[in-house]
Amino acid sequence: MLFNSYKFIFVFLPIVLLSYLIIGKYGSRRVALIWLIAASLFFYGWWNPAYLGLILASMFFNYAIGTILSGDVNVLNRKIILITGIAVNLSLLAYYKYAEFFVENINISFSFNWNVQHIILPLAISFFTFQQITYLVDTYRGETREYNFLHYALFVSFFPQLIAGPIVHHREMMPQFSRVENKYFNYDFFAVGLSVFFLGLFKKVVIADSLSPYATEAFSAVSNGNILSFFEAWNGVLAYTFQLYFDFSGYSDMAVGVAFLFGIRLPINFNSPYQSFSIIEFWQRWHITLSRFLRDYLYIPLGG
């Protein structure tokens, strides 16, 4: 279910938001969180219900590892448990993303004839995997812990940021869901959220989707062996450049806007990267939370 689809805008989002606010105000806060988790899992399973089991198994596994890490375990065992948790997460990611690639190259290199069934990449597996790795590392460092599985499940599955980020920290998200004011309708948050969402929707539908045919036409012509003229080539390149830009910019805005409707502030994930003066600054502005993840959990721990 895409953010720009009629089903999401006119059916899913109004029902989920209204029910969440009503349950939060007149019912139990716990029930409201359960409703939001169920809605987020429904949102994820809309693409392929078969992979609901995968994200649930991933959540149970990482929650269990995090619980062990936050307990009374000696330093050596804690490090072994952390490494095991990260290895399992990365192995799962590697299997779905690179198994076919590795088998194909082994067959070519050693004249083998191994067959692997075509693997369909689960939606958002990179993002919920990276997000849970941050939780394990933060728990190992003593920076966060979670004693409630419902809170953890919401941290992983919250639908505005589930599909393509931003990659959030547990300490960024969960205190916001615990705020008393989130039980009530907030006009300011609603106005800001709706404005940001429709700005992102405009970028996606009016700009990015309008440029898509021009980019597709140019790339299809080249793939069919045609030679483009100077202006045709630049038209295709620029159309693709700005289609990609406004597509991700629009999605990022829509994610932030939807989260605002629930009283949640997501971190900014896109900050005009085409205004950058260097490639370093470009990556600091494009998918900001992914760059933050790579810096804090890969580059610096490896001695950078």
Q: What pLDDT digit, counting tens, does each position of 180-236 carry?
A: 666 677 888 899 999 999 999 999 999 999 999 999 999 999 989 888 899 999 999
242: which residues sit within 8 A by CB, 6+ positions away? 207, 208, 211
pLDDT at 93 over 80: yes
Question: Contacts from 86-93 at CB under 8 Å and sequence distance 24+?
Answer: 86/133, 86/136, 86/137, 88/61, 89/58, 89/62, 89/129, 89/132, 89/133, 89/136, 90/129, 90/133, 92/58, 92/125, 92/129, 93/125, 93/126, 93/129
Provide the pLDDT for residue 152. 93
pLDDT tens profile 7-48: 999 999 999 999 998 998 888 888 999 999 999 999 999 988
Residue 303 pLDDT > 80: no
Length reported for the chain: 304
* Whole-number pLDDT of residue 19: 94
Whether the predicted pLDDT of 117 surpasses 80: no
Of 143 and 213, which is predicted with more confidence? 213
Q: For the residues 118-136, what does the mean pLDDT come to?
A: 87
pLDDT at res. 5: 93
Of 296 and 85, the one with more pLDDT: 85
Give the contacts of 135 (CB within 8 A, at least 6 positions apart): 62, 66, 144, 146, 152, 155, 169, 170
The pLDDT assigned to 180 comes to 64
Q: If DSSP codes are grouped into helix, strand and coil, which group holds residue 267?
A: coil
AA identity, residue 153: A
Q: CB atoms < 10 A from the CB of 276, how many?
A: 15
Q: Are 100 and 118 in contact (CB under 8 A)?
A: yes
CA distance 264 to 175: 10
